Amino acid sequence: MKRKNFLIWKNVRFYSDLEKKVFFEFIEKIKSIAEFEQENKKLYLYFKSKRIPDKDLRALIGLFDRFKIDMKQLKIFLNERNKKWFKDGAGEYVGYWVKKVFG
């Protein structure tokens, strides 16, 4: 099966066992993530679809920012439904991520 809709975190580094445990517990709670695997120094997150709920996308934004994962990858989730808050930074959330994702 050819996998698509995935994001990569390169040079995976955790500073403690607890940090690693909490990280994986967090990504397991993001329902849009179908599965994940760690290979060498890369972590692959596989998604069921490129259309994910806003709450999952917000969780990914926070996770990617906190762990310094390349946020440009999150562009794959842009669509007409979320464009106003995700790309334009409008709404109840401050769009601190806009420049990190879209340049």
Task: Kindly report, residue by residue over 19-70, the tens digit of the pLDDT.
Answer: 989 999 999 999 999 999 988 888 999 999 999 999 999 999 999 998 888 9
Cα separation, 42 vs 28, whole angstroms: 17
pLDDT at 1: 40
Give 69's contacts (C-beta < 8 A, 6+ positions apart).
Answer: 7, 9, 63
pLDDT surpasses 90 at 4: no
Please give the residue that has the higher pLDDT: either 4 or 71. 71
What global pTM score does this model have? 0.87
DSSP state of 55: H
Q: What is the pLDDT of residues 72-90, one digit of tens each?
A: 999 999 999 999 999 987 7
